[in-house]
Amino acid sequence: MAFASSGDLAAKEETFVELAAGVYALTAEGDPNVGAVEGPDFVVCFEARATPAAARRWLARLRERTEKPVRYLVLSHYHAVRTLGAAAFDAAEIVAHTETRRLIAERGRQDWESELGRMPRLFEDPASIPGLTWPTVTFSDRMVIPLGGDRELVLAHCGRGHTAGDIVAWLPHERIMFAGDLVEAQAALYTGDAFHTEWASSTLDRVQAFGAEALVGGRGAVATGEDTVFAAITQTRHFLDELRRTVGAAHAERGTLKDAFTAAHDALAPRFGGWPIFEHCLPFNVQRYWDELEGVDWPRIWTAERDQQVWAALTDG
Ligand SMILES: [Zn+2]
């Protein structure tokens, strides 16, 4: 099997949707989603894509609807495929959680190399990346961006989950949420930098408590309607629970990491195996949860070299 997503080279079809007046999302069959919200004389963009070249294609779609300048670029978390395209937005402020800034400083360079190796197709014209993306505004709990009238955009940290510093963007007036990688709709989860137990319990509880009527997850189609939003959150929780159950059992029985991988694959593949990035992510997911069980609280840094070692140890390719 080709390493991670390095064999996934077919272009995905992009779908532009206006979820409410001035609220936009672009989804792409399991590639990372992006969004935007219009204020009175500015735009807030959510997520930056992997490169400025890739971001400019999204901005060209957005510019068919609005010419307002980007005042805020909001980053849901530190991962390269969400942050390294930031230069294209010319944003006045780049907003992220305090832990996201810390993670970029600590491991941004290694993560860039790791993600480029895992998902080369997403890095359109990698030479267009000027360097790491540095947030200019950070917060640890909650931040509100007024949008005019009674409209506002609430940025909130719901606890540790996909990473230590995930934030969601919530429009209370429209009841629409951009959830980043905390929720995936019919796409597999990446948990290689995650805090599984917290994510599956209190963090997803808080995400659910917003009562969104539409939700844009990190990957996959927009979930529209309360039932579909509930299904996306439940699917995310189920994935985490099954991973924890199977890897936890192998660890408790003093099995090997490979035993844990096989058990997790057997349990998850029937339901999730056909979804985007399932095979790519699972070795890294199992390794990270195994580390958590071993008492490693702060995720170890993925490097291009460590990626290859874990892949070789857990897959046959
Ligand atoms: Zn991510």
pTM, two decimal places: 0.97
Distance 98 CA to ligand 1 centre (A): 16
| Angle value at C-alpha 47, between 169 and 224, nearest 5 degrees | 55
CA distance 306 to 247: 20
pLDDT for residue 316 is more than 90: no
Q: Where is average pLDDT lowest: 8-22, 70-84, 130-144?
A: 8-22
pLDDT at residue 135 is higher than 70: yes
Calpha distance 186→70 (Å, rounded):
30
Give the residue among 184, 167, 159, 152 at the shortest CA–CA distance from 44. 152
CA pair distance 306, 74, nearest whole angstrom: 30
pLDDT band at 10; cut points 50, 70, 90:
confident
The Å distance, Cα 151 to ligand 1 centre, comes to 28
Which residues make up the environment of ion ligand 1, defined by Cβ < 5 Å?
Answer: 79, 181
Q: Which of 114, 30, 77 has its CA nearest to residue 310? A: 114
How far is the centre of ligand 1, averaged over its atoms, from the C-alpha of 284 (Å)?
A: 13
The residues facing 45 across adjacent strands are 36, 73
What's the CA-to-centroid distance between 148 and ligand 1, angstroms?
31
Ligand 1 centroid to Cα of residue 33, in Å, is 11
Q: How far is the CA of 83 from the centre of ligand 1 (A)?
A: 10
- For residue 202, the model assigns a pLDDT of 98
Neighbours of 205 (CB within 10 A): 13
Share of the chain above pLDDT 90, in %: 92
Q: What does R_g of the chain's alpha carbons equal in angstroms?
A: 18
**Strand-pair category, 43-46 with 31-38:** antiparallel
The pLDDT of residue 134 is: 98
Q: Tell me the average pLDDT across 47-73.
A: 98
Q: Helices then strands (H, E): number in the chain? A: 9, 13
Mean pLDDT calculated for residue range 134-158: 97
| Structural contact between residues 72 and 45, judged by C-beta atoms closer than 8 angstroms | yes
What's the CA-to-centroid distance between 51 and ligand 1, angstroms?
15
- Name every residue whose Cβ is closer than 8 Å to that of residue 227 and which is 6 or more positions away in sequence: none
Residue with tokens 């509880």: 205
> What is the whole-number distance in angstroms between the Cα of residue 91 and the centre of ligand 1?
21
Confidence of residue 317 (pLDDT cuts 50, 70, 90): low
In this predicted structure, the answer to whether residue 129 has a pLDDT above a threshold of 80 is yes
- Per-residue confidence band for 186, with pLDDT thresholds at 50, 70 and 90: confident
- Over range 65-91, report the average pLDDT: 98
At residue 40, what is the residue type? P
Q: 79 C-alpha vs ligand 1 centroid, how far in Å?
A: 5
Distance from residue 200's CA to the centre of ligand 1 (Å): 16
pLDDT of 216 above 90: yes
Q: Please give the distance, rounded to the nearest whole angstrom, from the Cα atom of residue 246 to the centre of ligand 1.
A: 23
Gap from CA of 133 to ligand 1 centroid (Å): 15
Rounded to an integer, what distance in angstroms lies between the CA atom of residue 254 and that of residue 90?
52
Cα(179) to centroid of ligand 1, in Å? Answer: 11
- Of 44, 141, 137, which is closest to residue 96 (Cα–Cα)? 137
- What is the distance in A from the centroid of ligand 1 to the CA of 291? 18
Which residues 6+ apart lie within 8 Å of 316 measured at CB? 1
> Which amino acid is located at 100 in the chain?
T
- Average pLDDT (130-147) is 98
* The pLDDT value given to residue 4: 81
| Average pLDDT rounded to a whole number, residues 179-203 | 96
State CA 123 to chain mean position distance. 16
Of 86 and 185, the structure prediction assigns the larger pLDDT to 86
- The span from the CA of 128 to the CA of 138, in Å, is 25
Statement: residue 276 has pLDDT above 90 = no
pLDDT digits (tens, 9 = 90+) for 11-54: 889 999 999 999 999 999 889 999 999 999 999 999 999 999 99
Q: Give residue 315 CA to ligand 1 midpoint distance, Å.
A: 22
Q: Give the span between the Cα atoms of 184 and 166, in whole angstroms.
A: 14
pLDDT average, residue stretch 171-200: 96
Q: How far is the CA of 40 from the centre of ligand 1 (A)?
A: 30
Measured in angstroms, how far is the CA atom of residue 149 from the centroid of ligand 1? 33
3 state DSSP class of 220: coil
